[in-house]
Structure 1
Amino acid sequence: MTATTDQPVGDDILGIGFGPSNLALAIALETEARHGPVRPSARFLERQARFGWHRAMMLPGADMQISFVKDLVSLRDPTNPFSFLNYLHRKGRLIAFLNLKTFNPSRVEYNDYLAWAAEHFAESVAYGEGVEAVHPEIRDGRLAAFRLAGRTESGAVRMRRCRHLVVAAGGDPWIPEPFGRLRGDRRLVHSSWYLPGIAAALGNPRLDGPERRVLVVGGGQSAVEIAVDAGARYPRARIDLAIRAPALKPADDSPFVNEIFDPAAVDRVHGAPEPVRAELIAAHRDTNYAVVDADLIQSFYQTLYEQDVSGETRYRLLRSTRVVAIAPGPAGLAATLRDDVAGTQATKGYDAVICATGYTRAAVPTMLDPLRPFMAAETVDRHYRLPLAPAEPRLSLHLQGFAEASHGLTETLLSILPIRAGEIAATILDLERAARGAIRPAAE
């Protein structure tokens, strides 16, 4: 993007992205500032036109995989008014929710909780504004501030400036080869845009609609949820679920293993030698990656069994199977599937192919590339702060969701949002207090 001479809009703190991570930070900043004289201004930039958390995966019957106690605040402060329990109370559903006898709300309800919390910060969020790059502002040879270059939905250039920057932009949908060459083809859908994508590929569901063939690729929770949903949404569709493993694997949520998601686990992982840290993360991957909740596995297995009883096959689980080639055609997408156990492959036609293949996250988002000359390292410290030098001591750059290799599996999940947000807020406010304390005597 070309440079602009417009004077940038200034705030003390800018957050890129306004999903759960920076929403938790907004709450933490408000809470921390309430107890002291330093109240820096904060604004969050969100490219979506309105708040929304995984809206394309709001599937009927899909529940959260974590307890409601792991909300935006409760692990740090159970009395905070932004708790999930207070949300239920404010909505008049607290008693009814208790009657459900569950710790896991529906995904739809949890999204509504997040939106309810986000409403309280509406004046501090610039929706429909994306950030393309972050540039250094240099004074006396040192990094003195950040200048953010972005665009609004209308295409207008917007320049902003801050001393403290928190990036929580999320991961990028991963579409592996050979699917990458089909980007832009509406018949190829990633799970991150599943609901609008499947509608664009197959049209509106109808009981008397044409028979459709759908291929879902992936062996995790989202893949199975999508396979089940697509079959229910399109009653005449035939669904193939291709997994590279020999079987769907259950997520390990047993108590001792689940401690990897405790706040204390971040200290344990971060403090370990690098090879040990990698072993710890690898040893716990079956808590989160390419695994499925046991009850969903049981339900899907029962569906396949009932097909055997009835003799009508709509769902197929293709085990040890890889898509080795895919080609577009007027009648659909031709996918070549290889059975690694049998050593055979066959080409089948599909009306839609859905990649439930997860996300990629660089250690440092590309929008920060202009700052690389000032990066002392590309790994954040314990408090999620990226080391910068030479830079003003009052400056800070924090990343949320990019440090799994150094902080553990909680980094890309909801498990410890309030703890991480509290640490970042405290770091920023300590810097502001120290700077303002140093400035005040000189002014006097």
Structure 2
Amino acid sequence: MDGTPTPLRADETRAHDLVGVGFGPSNLALAVALRDAGSPLSARFLEQRDRFVWHGNMLLDGSRMQISFLKDLVSLRDPTSRYSFLSYLHRRGRLQDFINLRTFYPSRREFNDYLGWVAADFADVCGYGVTVTAVEPVRGAGGGLSQVRVHARDAAGRDRSLLARNVVIGAGATPQVPEPFQSLVRSHPVPDGPQDGPLVIHSNGYLAAADALARAGRVAVIGLGQSAAELFLDLHGRGVAVDVIARGPAMRPADSSPFANKVFDADYTGYLYGLPADERAALLRAFHNTNYAVVDPDLIDAIYAIFYQQKVAGAERHAMLTRREVVTATARPDGDGVTLALANLDDGSREERRYDAVLLATGYRRRIHEALLQPMEPWLTGGEVGRDYRLPTVPGCSVGLYLQGCCEATHGLSDSLLSILPIRAQEIATALTAAVPADAQGDTIRMLTSAQR
């Protein structure tokens, strides 16, 4: 897969109109939009996880959504859709009870259940336990490119492939791990099994390791944003001693005021996209504190109160180590914990601290699409993604390659969030329908995924 188009295989001569990479909220919203519109397009989605789950390891007790339930998969596009959050509550028999809560913000656990409820209705178009490994060009009869081959691997390690006229990548993000921790971090900690080295994990694996962390003597949480705050409070509730370590000077409140929140409105996407690149970048910086490295004010109040009560009691169980940079992270020779070398950014001094475990609340990177599309590079112009989220391609390529959640620089801060899912899904669905010839829509293909074996 070096970018050279490969010929069609004799047993795979028909293609899907759409193959979706990933089946999280973004591509789920697209599947809903296509079904609500009665679209004749044939679609298949491939999801790496073995079932639908949304941030499963951060479904903490008491954690709530930071956006209104009205920003569900459909309501901004069609409030009458049967896939709305209100419809979900009605079907679950909890509509009146939810009304009595007098809130726009459901628990994160309930919203995950809502998303799973919708996803269950699309089990026929999603293959779970399938990891997409590459999108490869396929040579057409006239030398152009009208189809691609999507390569994947199922849970048993078997290679699979299918053809597509369009690909929509909504594969989410990968944990961002600071350099000092890259040789130590674990992707899948085994809380109750033998451990190979110290317990250093990213926040996306938190609940899987929560019991092991509860047995730790002292835990370092790296970061100063919403995840760090939630992890601190959960560990505090489990009786764990925690040091919060970060380069920043303090936990800062998220700006959730009405005017600031307009940057997450669907109309703002078109406005921002129409600006010159330098003006876009300036606005993204100006509204940075609506989404990044900030914390809900009520959590800040709760954490401050905990530190204050420590002073009252005269027993400092936790520490807030701000303006500190982790220079090195070293596994202790006895295998019991990690030693962090910290640089004080105020006076330049250094110190070493020992921890039984480290939690990285250091955010995510959204670059999965780059590796998947590497074989397609000869067919891409390298220009900005289109307003309809389609990557620009060279003449002779009619394949549509769309991105969901990777376009913040052009489409705004809402691109990686839930705020615009229904509108973006509708825009991509419209573009897909317009791009696929009517006489080709609905073609089927023998799907070679683990879901049918």
1:332 equivalent among 337, 360, 364: 337
Q: Which residue of 1 aligns with 2:199?
A: 187
Alpha-carbon distance in structure 2 between the residues aligned to 1:255 and 1:422: 25
Alpha-carbon distance in structure 2 between the residues aligned to 1:379 and 1:212: 49
Identity %: 45
What is the count of residue pairs matched by the alignment? 423
Matched, 1:271 2:274: yes
2:34 equivalent among 29, 35, 44: 29
Q: Which residues of 2 match residues 290-301 of structure 1 at below 5 A?
A: 290-301=293-304
Structure possessing the higher relative contact order (Cα contacts under 8 Å, 6 or more residues apart): 2
Q: Which residues of 2 match residues 45-444 of structure 1 at below 5 A?
A: 45-139=46-140, 140-184=142-186, 185=197, 187-199=199-211, 201-202=212-213, 205=214, 212-233=217-238, 235=239, 237-329=240-332, 330-362=335-367, 364-393=369-398, 395-433=399-437
| Alignment root-mean-square deviation, CA | 2.0
Alpha-carbon distance in structure 1 between the residues aligned to 2:56 and 2:198: 18
3-state secondary structure, aligned to 1:99: helix
3-state secondary structure, aligned to 1:181: coil
C-alpha change, 1:6 and 1:142, in structure 2 (3 Å) is closer
Which amino acid counterpart does residue 182 of structure 2 have in structure 1?
A: G
Alpha-carbon distance in structure 2 between the residues aligned to 1:363 and 1:148: 15
Q: TM-score, normalised by structure 2?
A: 0.90
Structure 2, gaps ≥5 residues long:
187-196, 442-453
Alpha-carbon distance in structure 1 between the residues aligned to 2:22 and 2:369: 15
Q: Which residue of 2 aligns with 1:442?
A: none
Which amino acid counterpart does residue 203 of structure 2 have in structure 1?
A: S
Structure 1 contact 137–143 (Cα < 8 Å) conserved: yes
Q: TM-score, normalised by structure 1?
A: 0.91
* Cα offset, 1:432, TM superposition: 2.4
Which amino acid counterpart does residue 51 of structure 1 have in structure 2?
A: F
Which amino acid counterpart does residue 215 of structure 1 have in structure 2?
A: A
Alpha-carbon distance in structure 2 between the residues aligned to 1:7 and 1:410: 42
Structure 1 contact 364–378 (Cα < 8 Å) conserved: no
CA-to-partner distance for each residue in 1:393-425, whole Å, 9 max, x for gaps? 4x3111001110011101100000000000000
Structure 2 contact 17–436 (Cα < 8 Å) conserved: no
3-state secondary structure, aligned to 1:143: coil
CA-to-partner distance for each residue in 1:94-131, whole Å, 9 max, x for gaps? 11111111100000000000000000001110000001
Which amino acid counterpart does residue 175 of structure 1 have in structure 2?
A: V
Alpha-carbon distance in structure 2 between the residues aligned to 1:193 and 1:160: 31
Structure 1, gaps ≥5 residues long:
438-444
Which range moves more in the overlay, 371-380 or 289-298? 371-380
Alpha-carbon distance in structure 2 between the residues aligned to 1:320 and 1:218: 11
Alpha-carbon distance in structure 1 between the residues aligned to 2:374 and 2:65: 35
